[in-house]
Every structure is written in C-alpha cells, then in structure tokens.
Structure 1
Amino acid sequence: MDVETPSRLSERPAAIVIGGGIAGLATALRLSAGGMSVTLLERHNHMGGKIRTVPSEAGPVDAGPTVLTLRHVFDDLFACAGERLEDHVTLMRQDILARHFWSDGSQLDLHADPETTASAIAEFAGHKSAEEFRQFNRRTRQLFDAFDIPMMQAAKPKIPRLALEVLRHPRLLRAMAPLSTLSQMLDNQFSDPRLSQLFGRYATYVGGAPHLSPAILSLIWQAEAAGVWVIQGGMQRLATALTALAINRGALMRTNTHVDRITLDNGAVSGVEINGSEHLRAKCIVYAGDPRALTTGKLGSDLCGIAPQTLTIPRSFSARVHSFAACQTGPDLSHHNVFFADTPQSEFDDLMAGRIPSDPTLYLCAEDRGHGTPVPPLERFEIISNAPATETLTPPMDLDTWHHQIMQRLADFQVTLSPKPSMTTITTPQHFAQMFPETMGALYGQSPHGLTASLRRPTARTKIPGLWLAGGGTHPGAGLPMATLSARHAAEAILSAQTSTSLSDPTAMRGGMSTA
C-alpha cells in the first residue's frame, strides 16, 4: 500500500469537516480517498453523532439508529475507498422486517419477500387486504424507481426534471396522489384501518405526522422492502469502521474539539477557530451538522444568510429513547417490534400541540434478536416513543409518569421486563437539544409536512465559496442512508471543483492544513 509521507500530505488540498456523525464520517472518507488532506472536528468524545450507545450490564446498547437500509448507499461509500462494506462490519439480513402488535391481540409481520408479506396480510385481514397490499407495493415501487435518481441521487433536485418525469409516465401522477396526505392515500388504499396505521408510521421515520405529510412518503416502504440489515455488535461498529478507514486514508480525527467560528476572508471561507484559541486554515469546509446552527449565527454572524428557511419551517418531531438491559417474557419478539396506539390520531394531535402523547405507539428494538444465535437471558432493548422537539434544555418534570406509562403499556401487551429498567438511561428531546446545538432537539431537521417539503431543504452548495453542507438536515433528508447520500453530493462537488481548479492553476488550493 502506498503510504503518504508528511511532506506529501502537506501538498494535498486541505479540507475541514465539522461534525463526526454519519455524514461527516462519510464526507471525510470520500475526500481523503479522493486525494484531499482532511481534518474532521467533533465536539463530543466519540464519533457517530446520533449513532450512539449507552452502557448496560449486557454491554453497550444502541440509543439511536438500529438497522441499515438501502445498503447500496453504504456499499458505494466503502467502494470509493477501494473497500467492501462486508469486510469491515458483519451484516445479517432480516427475513422479518418488523413485527406489529395491536391491543386486540392481532399481530402482523412484514417480510423481506413481498409475497410472504401478502400471504401474512391475507391471514391477518383477508384476501382483499392482501391484494390491496400488492397494489400498494407496485405503486410505491413505481414512485421509488421514478424519483430515486432525479430526487435522492441528485445533488440539487430540479422541478422541471421532476415534472418531466411525471409527464413521461402519466400514471405516476396518480401514484403520487399530490393532493392527498399520506393518511388520506392510505385510507383510500387499504380497507383495513390497521394497515393504514401501519404504513402511516413511515411518516415518523422522517419526523412527521401521516395526516400532514405528503402521500409520496409512502415510497419509504420500498427502502425497507429492499432489505433490512442488522450489524453484529451494534450500529456503532459502522461508525468505528468508517473512522478507521478514513484515518487509514490519511484523515485526521479530532474529538473533544469545539468549533467557535468559521472564518472568512474576502467572502470565502479561510478556516475555523476552535477551543477558544486555535485557528485552523482551510479553503474548503464541510459543515455536517444541522444547518440551522449556521443560520442562527452559532458559528459566526457572517453565516446567518445560509439556509434561512431553517428559521421559519417548523422542526421535525423528536423522541424519548430508553436503552437498557433486561430479561423479557411474553410474546415472541423480532428485532423490530411496534406496539400500536389505540387512538392513532390522538398521538399526532398531541405532538402537534407540543405535548407528550397520552396514547403513544411504542417502537421496541430487541437488539440481540435477528442475529441467528440463541437469545441471551439478559437482552439489550431500545424503546422509542415520539415526542415534540423543544428549545428548552430544562429536564422534563413528567419523566417518572411517562416511564411508568410506557412500562404499563408494554405490560398491557403481556411484555414484562425484569429487572424493571430505571430512568437513568432515558434520552429526551432536551438531551438531544444539548448534544446537537440549534436543533431544538429535533431528530430529523425540518418538518416533512407539506407537498414541497422535500424541495425546501438546504443543499450541499452554499453561496459562500468553500462552504458546503452535509447531514440529515440537508438534502436528501434524514436517516442514515439519506445523510450518507448528502455526503456524497458534497464530496463529489468538492472533488470536481478541486480538480477543475488544479487543472487551471496547479498552485491553487495547495498548502495543506496550518495552525495560527
């Protein structure tokens, strides 16, 4: 392997990446693999951002994302460095995508194979519902295929191109149901309200309510239908692998590093001030945090014009996340389990009013299941319940009441956990707001509500030369695959610009990283 010497590294064009979440790590890897000298700055003492764990007697428990979808996005990321994803993490594809429970005792598994799912739905709700699901699967496949390249894969979606796609395929407009919300479309699609409730949960995957989100979000089903993978050892293994690989390609990773300000020179970025005293110089900076932090002046008043929409568009939902170890008795669990609310609309009415839902749907991840190995007596669990985002950092006063409520709710489904989890490992929106400044605790950036919400996100390129954006708060959106795609959009544009500059001026963008 060709090892870079310090003198050669200093000749590489310099870039700074701010933020060590999935987008920051993916950007650092792509830029370093593309020949740039990269320094990644992370304010916490670990990499991964929302990929995080909390300790337990059974080992580290995921307290963020729990599975991998759209695997091809990650295959492409590792391939950019000449590597294979499966050589760095052990992946286990799930036959059962999720197991769903209702308080009337009904239960439904969604499977990796669509026809197996249709058969399960036939047994669950009848042959009519099974045929409705087949129609839904074809409909969302059509939407995903049509909008993947011009929307998600495009660095900046263009309305004319999207409109052309619709004109070329007239049936697409009907599939989009542009005048309908996700709830309305699903109510028309399914005669059984439980299936509308189930597939309506995909709005929450991007922090929204199904009765306010556009019908096109139904295509999220195809992201799961394409495959769900569990990573052996937990999701943190992915962040660890990306960190190690980026370092191997020459990137410098600095944790416990607070960025005070992004500095400009003649209107273009010149570097960053960190930890109150140090100045790092670079002509290329990727901000891989929530762009709202730039708009509010958190990193300098000169940047307040960046992504102004983040000040006016409502924030997405947040969550209360409980991660712990316990022994479980009751119904047989899959890796992913959903325990549905009895009054689904009341949950979203509460969230939109800024209240913790009185009748929440609970997502329960049994992290030691789905590995093809015996389930240990002491298992690791993560419970996620939707919650409104909040500006305040003050700890909530109702946590004890809420904790008792969700434990009782699981008991109503015959799920018992022993010993009873304590409240010490609950992460609240207030915690998220503290960990990720200027997010207001929102987990998915801007709200997905409204037909044009997906077109209103900031994109990778900003109006300040040398400043780029990546992360779940930018296009194409929230979630591990989308944030990873945002890194590709930023890195490809940077490397393309760097190549063009180098061809026209061999001395431009040289000099590496320096301190002052």
Structure 2
Amino acid sequence: MGEACLRRRVAVVGGGIGGLTAAGLLAREGHEVTLFEGSASLGGKAQAVTVDGVTLDTGPTLLTLPDLVRGTFERLDALDLLPPLTELQTQCAYRFAGGSTFTAFKDLERTVASADGVSPGEGAGLRRFFEEAEAIWKAAGEPYLEAPFEGMAGFMGRVARRGIGAVLAGMRLSSLHGLAAKHLRTPELRQYVGRFATYTGASPYEASAAFALIPHIERAMGVHHVRGGVGALVEALGCAVRRLGVTVHLKTKARFERTESGYRVGVGSDVAGFDSVVVNADPLESLRRGDESLALSGYVLLLEVDGRPSLPHHAVLFGGDYRREFDELFRGELASDPTVYFCHPSASDDTMAPPGRAGLFVMVNAPALPVGEARAEVEARAWERHGVRVQEQMFEKLFAHYPELRGRVRVLGTRSPVDLAAQGAPGGSIYGFLPHGKFGPFRRPRIRGNTPGLFYAGGGTHPGGGVPLVMLSGRFAAELASEHLRRRA
C-alpha cells in the first residue's frame, strides 16, 4: 500500500489502545486517518492520574508479551518513543486466608520451591501444571493469536497444522479450576491458578482450562512494568500516531452510519464521508448481543503512602472461600470476603512518586451493573453505599497482611463500576463479553462488523483484554480494513 491512487479515508471511533494501534498502522500504509475520542484524553480504560506528584495507573497495571508490544511500536516506526520495560523477577506475592504465602518468580525453580513451602510436594504438581499450560499455549494459544478469529474452521485449520495431538488436547479441556485440581492438592495453589480467570473477568469454575495459557505466558515471557506506568505507554502511542499524520479529535463523541458508498462519521450535522470505520468500543450492543451476561467489573482505591514501604510490586490477598466469592459476584452481590489485588509501582520505578512517598493501586472484583437504564440508575445510587463497605473490606485485609501501612495511607481517588460505565464499558464490565464455558473464548465478538468496511478493536473483541492483546486487536482490525480497501480499489 501507500501509493497515492490507493489512498483512502478511514475513521477510527475511540482512542483506546486498540484504536490508536489501528489508526497508526493504517496511516503508516498511507491512508488518511481521522481518530475521534469522546473524552478529553486518549487511552480508553488505560488511564493514569497524578496527584501531588504520585502517579498511578487506573486501568491495566502490568504488561505481558513484551515482544508483541515492541513489535507494535516497530510497525509504527516508533521504537524511539517506547518507554523502557522492566521485567520483574518477583512477579507476584500471594497471601492466603490461612496464613500461608506463595510467590511467583520469573525463575521457575524458585516458584516451585515456594509452592513446596505451601505444602511439600506441591512444587512437583505446579511443575506439571505449567507443562500442561505450555502445551495448551502451543496447541490453542498460538493459533488463536496468529490471525483474526473468523470462525472455527479457520482456527481449527491452524490448530491441525500442529498435529492431531493438539486437536485431541483441545477436546479434553475442562474448566480452569478442574485443571488446577488435576495437578494441585491444596486450595491455596488452586486459588493461585484460578486467579487468572479474572484476567478475563470470569470465574475459574466456569472458564475454560484454555486460560491456563495466561500463567504460562507470565512464567515464560515475563511480567513487565512500563517506566512511568501504562499511562506513559498510551502517551507514547498518541505521539506515534500523530507523527504518522493521524488527525486526532478529542472531546468528540462521533457516531457513524452506513451509506451506499461507505460511511458518514461525525457529530450532529458536522459529518464527513469515509471508506472504512474502525470502532474501538465494546461491540456487544452493536451486534445485538447486549442481553448477554457480562464479565466482572471492579472497584479501585488509589492510595498515597507516607514513606516507601517494603511491599512487593504486585500482590494478591485471597479471601477464604474462593467458590463462594465467585458465586456471590455472579449473583450480582458484593463478595462477603473479597480477594484484594494491589500494585505498588514505586517498588520498581522511582519516577512514580516523589522521595519519601509511594502510591498503591488496590482493587477488588465487583459485579457488573444490571443492563437497562432504570436498573443501572438504581445501582449507581446504591454504589454510594457500596463504596463505603468495599473500602472497609479492602483496608481491613490490607492492614491485616501489612500492618505497617496502618495510619500511613491517604485516599487519592476511587473508581467504581459506575465510573467504568461512564467510560463506555457496558454495565461497568471491564472486559464486556463473559467467556464462560468450554468454548467460551470462541464466542467472543469478532473484529469484522456486520456491514462491509466496519471493524472493531479493543478488549471486548478478539483476542481479548490486556494491553498486548488489545494492541493485537488493533493490528488485526487494520489488516482487515486494509484488505477491504484494496478490494474496493
């Protein structure tokens, strides 16, 4: 591409990471790209705030698949803009209700030894789990990420090229919890494995064992911190697309409609014609799937800490009954004993807070808001009460595990399901589509829209959530849009 006679006009509606990636790649090919973002800043759910010098991400807090991230910036001719990525040798610390602890390290042998510290022999079970998780990655994960998911036939063709063993392995998959129980005896290590279902807003008791590829990716390819936070990555992407000539309109909530020759996109009467549209928004409603069950939402506390506490970069403080926790959440209730996750970026990055202070991103899972304007309004009012209760639970667990924090924290801000819904997330759901069931991942909304020239990008479509996968969705959307535009030439 890139020849003047093939130059086409493309609109990107939504300036999250997927939309930015698609916009930049299409501009790199020589198309005239205009990006419309309804809010005052780019990034979608990947936002950051700075209060009194303390910077905290309010969305994603880590990176996996660093080669995919670097590859995206390389495709955008923007490696010079990519912030440094730091691989964490201590990936995450886990604390359990019974008092035991477990730490996942980059080094598998250290991780296995930590599992043996929970219960002798669990290290061998965890090693077997990782071996099976790697096999799942090779059999299903790699082909799932190789190309846009356009149906089972194409996907199974990519799987079959890996041999009949890969096909048979896929047919045997159970739930993520079932896979954990196959290899691990203790509820603690089963909780550790089950936790990765929440990367898709799902329950480990209902999500496919295919999601074991997530802990494999973390073990094999590392957990990384972006210097300056994920917000710095978004800023770099914004610079990259503008440098490629993308026209960016902020505070512009554009709508689009199909015409005989393409699409009209804009606000009110201020509309223009485009040959193709990439929509960086959750596609469930547009695809008439708005009545489907939604993935979990979350409640976030942003805290300032006096001093520099000796906390890990990432930690998970588990509740005592994991099955009950997910049963409550998917009944639409707050968890009675929630699992708490926190990110302490100053543990690895001095630029995130001034000397003598630190920031903490603290989060619990929460049910998505009910679908329907009237019910959602009631829930929005209810969250004024819910927020007080959830904060009490979060502080109680945080101080129980790290008593040195007591009296040293100040609330900088909060994010509730209501806030996420205001950002455009359906029901405040972080991931939108709920991939429950053995074949749940394959029901995820596809990138190709229901009219020619319309494509979707973002965590709500293939291949899923998380910064690298959202970048990949943007790349796939750009590739499909380019193919469409070439056919029209």
Note whether the superposition's TM-score is higher than 0.5. yes
Q: Could you say what secondary structure the match of 2:347 adopts?
A: coil
1:42 to 37, 47, 64: 37
1:94 to 88, 91, 106: 88
Distance 1:281 1:418, change over 3 A: farther
2:420 corresponds in structure 1 to 432
Query: Is 1:316–1:389's contact at 8 Å kept on the other side of the alignment?
Result: yes
- Superposed displacement of residue 206, structure 1: 0.3
1:283 corresponds in structure 2 to 275
Deviations along 1:137-182, one digit per CA (max 9) or x if unpaired, are: 1111111112234212221254245546369645546755746221
Superposition pairs for residues 53-92 of structure 1, below 5 Å?
A: 53-84=48-79, 87-92=81-86
Query: Is 1:460–1:486's contact at 8 Å kept on the other side of the alignment?
Result: yes
2:332 corresponds in structure 1 to 354
- Superposed displacement of residue 251, structure 1: 0.4
Distance 1:212 1:374, change over 3 A: closer
Query: Is 1:284–1:466's contact at 8 Å kept on the other side of the alignment?
Result: yes
Query: Is 2:281–2:460's contact at 8 Å kept on the other side of the alignment?
Result: yes
Q: Could you say what secondary structure the match of 2:263 adopts?
A: strand
Deviations along 1:428-463, one digit per CA (max 9) or x if unpaired, are: 1011111115x1111001111111211112212123
Superposition pairs for residues 378-389 of structure 1, below 5 Å?
A: 378-389=357-368
1:341 and 2:319 correspond: yes
1:240 to 210, 218, 235: 235
Give the letter aligned to residue 356 of structure 2.
Answer: P
Q: Could you say what secondary structure the match of 1:233 adopts?
A: coil
Query: Is 1:459–1:475's contact at 8 Å kept on the other side of the alignment?
Result: yes
Query: Is 1:320–1:384's contact at 8 Å kept on the other side of the alignment?
Result: yes
1:327 and 2:301 correspond: no
Distance 1:220 1:468, change over 3 A: same
Deviations along 1:268-307, one digit per CA (max 9) or x if unpaired, are: 6322131x331122111101101134x2xxxxxxxxxxx2
Which piece of structure 1 moves more, 381-390 or 446-455?
446-455
Deviations along 1:341-374, one digit per CA (max 9) or x if unpaired, are: 1111121111011011110000011121123899
Give the letter aligned to residue 175 of structure 2.
Answer: T
Distance 1:18 1:329 in 2: 41
Distance 1:81 1:364 in 2: 32
1:151 to 133, 140, 144: 144
- Superposed displacement of residue 237, structure 1: 0.7
2:124 to 122, 131, 139: 131
Give the letter aligned to residue 14 of structure 2.
Answer: G
Distance 1:236 1:124, change over 3 A: same
TM-score, length-scaled by structure 1 = 0.86
Superposition pairs for residues 240-259 of structure 1, below 5 Å?
A: 240-259=235-254
Query: Is 1:177–1:215's contact at 8 Å kept on the other side of the alignment?
Result: no
Give the letter aligned to residue 265 of structure 2.
Answer: V
Give the letter aligned to residue 430 of structure 1.
Answer: V
Superposition pairs for residues 159-198 of structure 1, below 5 Å?
A: 159-160=152-153, 162-163=155-156, 165=159, 169=163, 171-172=165-166, 176=170, 178=172, 180-198=174-192
Distance 2:167 2:5 in 1: 53
Distance 1:149 1:410, change over 3 A: closer
Query: Is 1:445–1:478's contact at 8 Å kept on the other side of the alignment?
Result: no
Distance 1:269 1:95 in 2: 50
- Superposed displacement of residue 125, structure 1: 2.3
1:484 to 466, 471, 484: 471
Distance 2:352 2:33 in 1: 43
Deviations along 1:60-113, one digit per CA (max 9) or x if unpaired, are: 3211111111112212211212332x6521211110110111233322210112
1:318 and 2:305 correspond: no
Q: Could you say what secondary structure the match of 2:229 adopts?
A: coil
Distance 2:13 2:351 in 1: 39
1:414 and 2:414 correspond: no
Query: Is 1:476–1:483's contact at 8 Å kept on the other side of the alignment?
Result: yes
1:140 corresponds in structure 2 to 133
Give the letter aligned to residue 339 of structure 2.
Answer: T
Percent identity, please. 27
Query: Is 1:20–1:48's contact at 8 Å kept on the other side of the alignment?
Result: yes
- Superposed displacement of residue 223, structure 1: 2.1
Distance 1:378 1:314, change over 3 A: same
Unaligned regions of 5+ residues in structure 1, if any?
296-306, 503-516
TM-score, length-scaled by structure 2 = 0.91
Unaligned regions of 5+ residues in structure 2, if any?
371-375
Query: Is 2:181–2:190's contact at 8 Å kept on the other side of the alignment?
Result: yes
Distance 1:149 1:23, change over 3 A: same
- Superposed displacement of residue 478, structure 1: 1.7
Give the letter aligned to residue 477 of structure 1.
Answer: G
2:484 corresponds in structure 1 to 497
Distance 1:374 1:254, change over 3 A: closer
2:438 corresponds in structure 1 to 451
Give the letter aligned to residue 421 of structure 1.
Answer: R
Give the letter aligned to residue 138 of structure 1.
Answer: E
- Superposed displacement of residue 327, structure 1: 2.5
Distance 1:373 1:35 in 2: 37
1:510 corresponds in structure 2 to none
**Structure 1 vs Structure 2 CA RMSD:** 2.5
Distance 1:99 1:328 in 2: 21
Distance 1:182 1:232, change over 3 A: same
Count residues in correspondence.
475
Distance 1:278 1:373, change over 3 A: closer
